[in-house]
Chain A
Amino acid sequence: MEFTLWDILRNLMLAARWTLLLSVVAFATGGVAGLAVLLARIAARPWLRRPAELYIGAFQGTPLLMQLFLVFFGLPLLGLRIEAWSAASVALTLCASAFLAEIWRGGVEAIPRGQWEGAASLGLHYVAQLRLIILPQAFSITRAPTVGFLVQLVKSTALTSIIGFDELMRAANAINNATFAPFTVYGFVALIYFCICYPLTRYSRMLERSAARTR
């Protein structure tokens, strides 16, 4: 069977849909879980804060590939049926939650003390202080690194090919085995990732600049 350049590119782009879907799912679920980790991380009570610190440290201090393997081989031990897709999305969600919590914590800590005190003096309780005063500002000043992390996440999805999830990288390996044209195939792969990531990088930089202006 003959593969034209267009065949290679078309099949890679079809597989890239899974890269995009996994990135979006992991970013969304990781964002929700990351909010929970953030709340624990900034809590005053040590029994909430310490586990959150450990959680973040564990995910930032180990390779994502190991995290993928542990989820892929670990969840079945708990009696859960699991395929590559679920393992990939669970592992990336956990990892994203740790990184996003840490990014947003930086935002929360950058909020001046007076904002907390002002909110408290208005009679707001802790949850309302966070919801109305602190978190909106913290999210707003960490918008650029959050988008920057999304770029990292998109690139990270390439590792899920190793546990057998059929995204762009795994499709590339399969096409490479059929065509013996690694230069073209991996060149296109890099190009497709670049086309996904570069606009996000630009957007992140734009946010950074506008944040620097308003400050």
Chain B
Amino acid sequence: MDYRLDFGWLGDAVWLIVGGALMTIFLIVVSAVLGTLISVVGAAGRRSRIAALRSAVAYYVELIRNTPFLAQLFFIYFGLPSLDLRLDPVVSAVAAMTINLAAYGIEIVGAGLDAVPTGQREAARALGLRPAQVFVKIVLPQALKVIFPALTSQIVITMLESAAVSQIAVRDLTYEADMLQAKTFRAFETYLVVTIIYLAMSVALRRLMIAGDRRFLPARIR
């Protein structure tokens, strides 16, 4: 074995890598926010009185959870233009990540909603809050508190899966790595550096979410 690792190319590549990492961060921030919102709406829909709505949400969850992210991404980016719905790569990536995250998020948020004791709801109603207020002010914050660790994990998983969006030419971290290794012929070193960056990003995202949880969500009611 006479191969020597060479990281000499790294100096010129720093800004490309930073740019790619920023794109990855942008994608996960947007889809985490949208995905969480859809998860809340979806989980409420899953528990609504309208049967058609309940089963529509159930079908959506099953369909997304049982197909690969890459297939969803390609279907949105390559398939939807057949229906005259042409999305640019970044929008397709955000759409695919949001749809994917929400399918898992609906189950997670739902479990949290079920974990809030009925007494909380009844007490809030007795205090004269309207049903919408009960949901937003009483039930949801407590549910979010319970599910936050699971939601955090799912958001990290979505960020890691977002590496696949390089395949539709979104200039994320993986895309920049692909371009760099084609130029430097140092594929192993390039992917090693980028893998470590992904690892650092997932650790940082997890820490950030935990800090946000402590800062903004109420203490858990037992």
Say if A and B assemble together.
yes
A interface residues with partner B (beta carbon < 8 Å): 58, 61-67, 69-70, 73-74, 77-79, 151, 155-159, 161-162, 169, 172-173, 176, 181-183, 185-187, 189-190, 193-194, 197-198, 201
Say how far A124's CB is from chain B's closest CB, in angstroms: 36
The number of chain B residues touching the other chain, given as a range, is 35 or more
Say how far A165's CB is from chain B's closest CB, in angstroms: 13
| Chain A interface mostly | helix
Say how far B46's CB is from chain A's closest CB, in angstroms: 15
From known contacts A62-B160, A159-B164, infer whether A74 and B188 are also in contact, taking CB-CB under 8 Å.
yes
Say how far A55's CB is from chain B's closest CB, in angstroms: 13
Contact B72 A190 (CB under 8 A): yes
From known contacts A66-B174, A73-B187, A159-B164, infer whether A78 and B1 are also in contact, taking CB-CB under 8 Å.
yes
B203 within 8 A of A: yes
Cβ contacts under 8 Å, B62 to chain A: 198, 201
Excluding A63-B163, A187-B75, 7 further A-B contacts by CB distance (< 8 Å) are A73-B191, A77-B3, A155-B69, A158-B70, A159-B70, A172-B74, A182-B79
Task: Tell which of A61, A169, A185 touches B68, judged by Cβ atoms closer than 8 Å.
Answer: A169
B interface residues with partner A (beta carbon < 8 Å): 1, 3, 62-63, 65-72, 74-75, 78-83, 156, 160-164, 166-167, 174, 177, 181, 187-188, 191-192, 194-195, 198-199, 202-203
Cβ contacts under 8 Å, B74 to chain A: 169, 172-173, 182, 186, 189
In the A-B complex, list the 7 residue pairs whose CB atoms are closest, starting with the nearest: A63-B163, A158-B68, A182-B78, A197-B66, A183-B82, A155-B68, A73-B187
Contact A201 B71 (CB under 8 A): no
Cβ contacts under 8 Å, B71 to chain A: 158, 169, 172, 186, 189-190, 193
From known contacts A158-B70, A169-B71, infer whether A65 and B188 are also in contact, taking CB-CB under 8 Å.
no
Contact B67 A194 (CB under 8 A): yes
Q: In this complex, what residue of B is CB-closest to A154?
A: B68
CA distance A66 to B162 in the complex (A): 11
Task: Tell which of A61, A173, A201 touches B199, judged by Cβ atoms closer than 8 Å.
Answer: A61
From known contacts A182-B74, A187-B75, infer whether A201 and B66 are also in contact, taking CB-CB under 8 Å.
yes
Task: Tell which of A58, A69, A158, A194 touches B187, judged by Cβ atoms closer than 8 Å.
Answer: A69
